[in-house]
Amino acid sequence: MSQDAVIDVINVSKHFGGLAAVNNCSLSVRRGSVTGLIGPNGAGKSTLFNMVAGNIVPDEGQVIFDGQDVTGLAPHQLFRLGMLRTFQIAHEFSNMTALENLMMVPGDQPGESLANVWFRPFLARSRETAVRKKALDVIDFLKLGHVRNELAGNLSGGQKKLLELGRTMMVDAKVVLLDEVAAGVNKTLLNDLAANIERMNRELGYTFFVIEHDMDLIARLCDPVIVMAEGRKIAEGSMEEVRANPEIVEAYFGAPVEAA
């Protein structure tokens, strides 16, 4: 285990029938980094990512998050510990405004309790005011003020991705797992999205773990970059170092690298 790692994946394996999707794989995500995960189709990236995110339980090995063994914990349990995930297809509440979507994120709000609404209304109102203020701050940070009262279902693909990023800011996540953040996003909004990821990392100290097929985006955002093949990590370094590795260039950059 690495001392400065916020995520440690230790000798993790996952089989589907006779297929070893991930085979005794170990890797770490350094606290404060933007770490990329790439490799050819079928390399096991998505399966490993899903095990870290709690969507798949590994057959063997451990996932350590912030010093705690979280192997097999469900996504909602990881959420409470500070690990959040965005998805290739945004999961917004389409009939609520962008602002309301952000305000839904923090858990255990006093207003969720009928007793608080009846007997401690000031507590519920005070908390709602604080959550609304934070949501407005997030919207300002992401420059989404012009759509804050727009139904989330009416937003563009890129705006929905920005909104998902904003949802991670509502709970001060320790790690954000980004799943194909570039999918369905036009170049202008993708540049905005990348710039906000950079700002969150640089100014707010967020750690990101990124699975992505857009190599230009990986090159812009990620250091280090981890390369997987046949269910294992085969290399790690800056994008320049990865691209300069003749074995990797021949095997994985001779054709477009796609998500598993």
Statement to judge: residues 40 and 144 lie in one domain: no
Flag whether 32 is in a domain. yes
The share of the chain scoring above pLDDT 90, in percent, equals: 57
Average pLDDT over the chain, rounded to whole? 86
| Least trusted range by pLDDT, from 66-70, 159-163, 200-204, 251-255 | 251-255
- End of a domain among 110, 133, 154? 154
Q: What is the pLDDT of residues 210-221, one digit of tens each?
A: 999 899 999 999
Q: Return all residues near 231 (Cβ < 8 A) that are at least 6 apart.
A: 13, 20, 21, 22, 23, 24, 25, 43, 44
Q: What is the pLDDT of residues 38-58, one digit of tens each?
A: 988 889 999 999 999 999 999
Flag whether 9 is in a domain. yes
Statement to judge: residues 9 and 137 lie in one domain: no
Q: Read off the pLDDT band of 183 (50, 70, 90).
A: confident
Which CATH number characterizes residue 20's domain?
3.40.50.300
The domain total for the chain is 2
**Whole domain around residue 233: which residue ranges?**
5-91+155-252
Q: How far is CA 66 from the centre of its chain?
A: 16
Statement to judge: residues 54 and 149 lie in one domain: no
Flag whether 142 is in a domain. yes
Q: What is the pLDDT of residues 193-240, one digit of tens each?
A: 999 999 999 999 999 999 998 999 999 999 999 999 889 999 999 999
Between CA 144 and CA 189 the distance in angstroms is 11
Q: What is the pLDDT of residues 49-95, one digit of tens each?
A: 999 999 999 999 999 999 999 999 999 899 889 999 886 556 788 99
Statement to judge: residues 166 and 240 lie in one domain: yes
Statement to judge: residues 105 and 214 lie in one domain: no
- Tell me the average pLDDT across 12-24: 95
Residue 130 or residue 37, greater confidence = 37
122, pLDDT greater than 90: no
pLDDT at 200: 93
pLDDT at 259: 44
Are 124 and 111 a contacting pair, CB within 8 Å? yes
Are 6 and 66 a contacting pair, CB within 8 Å? yes
Statement to judge: residues 204 and 148 lie in one domain: no
- End of a domain among 103, 131, 154? 154
Q: Give 151's strand partners.
A: 97
pLDDT at 127: 64
Statement to judge: residues 100 and 221 lie in one domain: no
The reported pTM is 0.84
Q: Which two tokens stand for residue 100?
A: 């309301």
Flag whether 257 is in a domain. no
For 180-236, the DSSP string reads: STTTT--HHHHHHHHHHHHHHHHHH--EEEEE-S-HHHHHHH-BSEEEEETTEEEEE
31, pLDDT greater than 90: yes
- In order of 113, 127, 190, 205, the CA distances from 184 in angstroms are 38, 35, 9, 27
Q: Which two tokens stand for residue 2?
A: 């690495």
pLDDT at 111: 45
Statement to judge: residues 48 and 72 lie in one domain: yes
Statement to judge: residues 104 and 56 lie in one domain: no
